[in-house]
Amino acid sequence: MRYCLHCGAANTDESHECFACTCSLTGPLEADADAVLLHNRYRLLTQIGSGGFGAVYRALDTQEHDLLVAVKQIHLSGLSPQQVIEATDGFNRELQLLSDSLHPHIPKIYDHFTDPEHWYLVMQFIDGETLETYLHNNWSTNANSTRTLPLDEVLDLAAQLCDVLQYLHERQPAIIFRDLKPANIMRTSQGNLYLIDFGIARRYKPGKVKDTIPFGSPGYAAPEQYGKAQTTPRADIYSLGALLHQLLSGTDPSLNPFSFAPLRLYGQDGLTELETLITTMVALDASKRPATIEQINKQIQSIIQQRQQGVTINGLSQIDNPQSSLSGPQSQNYTSAYYVPGGQMQQQLTAQRKKKISRRVVMIGGVTAAALFMSSDLVSLASNIFSPITGRREGMIQEGHSSGLPRVDTWSYDTILTAQPQRLVRYSPDGQRFVAVDKQNTVTIWASGQIAMYEQRSQFHVESKDPIHAVEWFRDGTALFAVTEQQVYFLDLQQLKAIPLKLDLHTPIATLVWHPTDASFLVSGQDGSISIFTAINPDQLTDWKLLQRCALKKPQAPMSRGPLANATWSDQGDQVASLSPANEINIWMAKTGEHVLKIPMSLDGGKITYLSWYKGNNQVLIVGTSEGVLHLIDWLRPGDSERLQLPGKVAVQDVAQFLPGSQLFIATSHGLYVWYPMSGLKALEQLKVPAVPDNLLSITVAGNSQPIVLGTTGTNEICTWQ
């Protein structure tokens, strides 16, 4: 077998030309099929990048059908003590931040391991070049400048960078990239961008005076990055402004840091507004820059919309400049007002490997500059399928989370015995307590114990003829809200009593969900409607007023499905979504009640059993079905969604997301499953330990670095996995 070092395809021994990319298989492009596998898994093809402490290789993952990956190797031997410290800090920083991030503009980490003299990262391989290289292509008239880009292309790049920076800045705590520059941005041939080199990125630390060590690139780094103050998201805003100025002017900011000449660009809609925005972004005084990247993103979108409509921001019509349209050899399609890279169905991934893919060799410098790149058609919101596993696994991909520790390979199982059959269980926001509700509407609060893992702390009864079918903690953990078909109750944990709330509701209740940040909640009806309530006095959680009602004009028949989760807030709280009895997902704007989208679901005779928004990604909805399918739906582009099949026809009954690692735990009618979003083309895995119950009704997860999962089965016990 002869492997092409250009695209990784396996060819016969007699082949002289690669069947996939038509490159020659002679000379330096021929891989040694008998070479020893790295980590008993990865066949290194060729070195394609190098840096201060290591190198980057194109490689094949032999356990994933020869999937092309990038392997970053850090050399420890021969380094000075200070260099070892720098290499260690950069490696661990990149591992932790990338493993904890799930975003279409951030490369995925698939695996990491060590040997006595090296550290390794296995990463997503993406075909492309740095934005720095792109700006210098076919441009040799002046070594001190770069070529300028068309306005629509600049706006498209700005929208993509705002999207990923907003994702980083809204993490808790915020992640500051600190080194936004053309050399740290990869661009595919389709114009899709990826942030690389997280080696100096850091998490914001409230109360800290300044950064431990000043880092940054001259010309793009904000003044506060030189040790004067702690960097905040406004430092990234400065860097983005410097970059946008360069794209429009062709002036390299590193030649004269902190000095930006007026752009004075005229003749096209939006240039004046964009120049004004850039000027505020590169203000030396951080307090004079826009407060958030979200504000910048909104202005960029406004300019894009203005250009699409051919009008100015103030509504005065303008005549389009005929020369401003994108045409000729550099033209691309920039019609999307909001950049959302589409996902691909798993069937397309197999076909994609057969395509002829043109690839480039990319030299990437720096201790942590190790992102290699693959065609953007393979970049998906969640390109995973499911397969079962058993017990301890050998050689499995390591999934990362915020602590940088490896994923859990072995699970222990135990039970907490109770007096009555338990229906619901939910962890408190701090993860130190949990509430359990039994079939008699008895609410029990459990907390970490000194003798047992959990001990019962308090208990009281909710007087209702209807069973409680949903329970939610208030955000600060001081109170609970319980839901029956006819009533919402405020559960006072101090006086241990249930207080029925007076809410303006006209339909049987399905569930209650808190707003991500505000003192508001939604109540969904079993007809698919949503009512949004806000506190009259945030200090008194017993008085609420109706803020908005979202409902279809045509009344819907009541749903017969279980009401555990049939409505949800978006991750940022701007939209709400609910299920209709016709197995459709409806999305409304929360503030205005405007119905913006209906997503019909083709379920082959099944029904939707679960709905929630994916935390950390405002574009993705999680939908479970009675036929053992978990859908990850890009609601802005529903056609680019993922269909993830569980083994067999098992009903999805509840889903819990472990935020430090973004794993999804799925409770089904036949056991508990876990899905690791960073595990490449790995499957959903069943937690198989002795005596695991089948019919899981509800689950909840907590933990700082490793997840602890609780579940109920309608029996006299609460299940625990850790």
Which residue has 């209702």 as its token pair? 464
Quickly count: other Cβ atoms within 10 Å of residue 314's Cβ: 7
- Written as six digits, the tokens of 353 are 């490997």
Q: CA-CA distances (angstroms) from residue 298 to 213, 246, 313, 445? A: 33, 21, 13, 43
CA angle 153-159-165, nearest 5°?
A: 135
Task: Write out the DSSP string of 658-717.
Answer: ETTTTEEEEEETTEEEEE-TTSTTPPPEE---TT--S---EEEEE-SSS-EEEEE-SSSE
- Rounded CA separation 150/665 (Å): 45
| Residue 615 backbone zone (phi > 0: left; psi -120 to 50: alpha; other: beta) | beta
- Written as six digits, the tokens of 170 are 């809204």
> Identity (one letter) of the amino acid at 585?
I
SS3 167: helix
- Written as six digits, the tokens of 262 are 């007026």
- Rounded CA separation 222/524 (Å): 46
Is 72 one of the annotated binding-site residues? yes
- Written as six digits, the tokens of 326 are 């994108």
- Rounded CA separation 77/87 (Å): 11
- Rounded CA separation 457/449 (Å): 9
Angle at which helices 271-281 and 151-169 cross, to 10°? 40
Torsion angle of C-alpha atoms 491, 495, 496, 502, degrees rounded to 10 = -30
Secondary element (H or E) of residue 417: strand 413-417
| 123 neighbors 61 (Cβ within 8 angstroms) | no
Cis bond before residue 223 (omega within 30° of 0)? no
SS3 590: coil
Order of strands, sheet of 671-675, starting from the edge strand that comes earlier in the sequence: 652-658, 663-668, 671-675, 685-686
SS3 548: strand
For the chain, the distance separating the N- and C-terminal CA atoms, rounded to the nearest angstrom, is 44
- What's the full length of the chain, in residues? 722
Which regions of 454-601 does DSSP assign to beta strands (E)? Answer: 454-461, 470-473, 479-483, 488-492, 497-500, 509-514, 520-525, 530-537, 540-550, 567-569, 575-579, 584-589, 595-600
Which residue has 């399918």 as its token pair? 629
Closest CA to 463 of 433, 484, 494: 484
Q: Detail the residues annotated as belonging to a binding site.
A: 72
Q: Detail the residues annotated as belonging to a binding site for ATP.
A: 72
